[in-house]
Amino acid sequence: MKKSIIIAASLLVLVSCKTAYQKVLSSPDVDAKYALAFELFNAGKYNKAAQLFESMMVAVGGTSKDDTVQYYRALCNYRFSDYFTAETNFEQFIDHFPRSPFAGDARYYRIECLYRNTYRYELDQTPTYKAISAIGEYMAEYPDSPHFDTAREMLRTLSDRLDRKAFENAYLYYKMEDYKAAGVALRNILKEDADNIYREKILYYTAMASYRYADNSVPEKKKERFMVFEDDYYNFIGEYAESSYRADLDRLYKKVKDSDNK
């Protein structure tokens, strides 16, 4: 019996709290909304606080509370892990209040939202390019920011992801045994991005693709195409003389030279 009374009392309290929140939410009393919104924000109830901040945006437009309300609406969505909505909120805030005391933090939180909204390397990288551009702009504008190192690490991670996608796309041709296409695709990576973090692998598979392509060629084309392999071999060992991949290429190079001497 006591347990039932306690449960009933608890439910009554919850219903009362909800009713009080809904009452303030639907009220035109901006001061009450403002106070409750911060109370909920400080209590970690970000979704409810965001609704309150949003509900008073029109009423506080043009007042001293305007930028505060819009900034905290965005921050609530960020803290609630709704990064898509938060990014839009922060972008709108930056457009409307570029000189606000909150502007610097808003710019940082926006790039973090963009970063979190990117996809793994196998998927569409359009959000990655957007995030890289925004992070670069932030770093240029705020070189003394306490978030600078974090932004630089985000930039590195996204750049590495693009490098991997480029390599994996080209390497797919090699796995499919389309060695001519693999060679072209691998060479194009380094033409566009000589500092790709997979450079060692790219040069290795470029040489391997050249060898396989030559080896599968008709007899009258082999000599010319093995010369391309030799160039690729020297390119590789010139940069990565101590590479663990070298033994494979040395073996193939010796095989080609032995064949030439027969």
Q: Exposure string (b/e) for 162-179, b if CB count within 10 Å is 16 or more?
A: bbbbbbeebbebbeeebb
Distance from chain centroid for Cα 104: 21
Stated length of the chain: 262
Q: What is the predicted pLDDT for the residue at 217?
A: 96
Rounded to 5°, angle at Cα 215 from 172 and 245 = 60
The domain defined by 13-98 carries CATH number 1.25.40.10:
yes
Return the domain boundaries, the chain: 13-98
Token pair recorded at residue 217: 């060629």
* pLDDT confidence of residue 260: 74
The secondary structure element, H or E, covering residue 87 is helix 83-96
SS3 call for 97: coil
Per-residue pLDDT at 90: 98
Instruction: Give the list of residues 6+ apart from residue 107 with CB closer than 8 angstroms, or none.
Output: 90, 94, 138, 141, 142
**What is the structure's pLDDT at 231?**
98
For the chain, the 3-state helix, strand and coil shares in percent, each to the nearest 5, are 80, 0, 20
Give the per-residue pLDDT at 18.
63
Under-50 pLDDT residues of the chain: 1, 3, 7-11, 14
Of residues 159, 154, 98, 101, the one with CA closest to residue 125:
159
- Give the Cα separation of 15 and 81 in Å (integer): 26
Q: What is the pLDDT of residues 167-191, one digit of tens each?
A: 999 999 999 999 999 999 999 999 9
d(CA 76, CA 137): 24
Structure tokens at 131: 């995030």
Among all chains, which residue has been given the structure tokens 């060679």? 183
Tokens 């590495």 belong to residue: 160
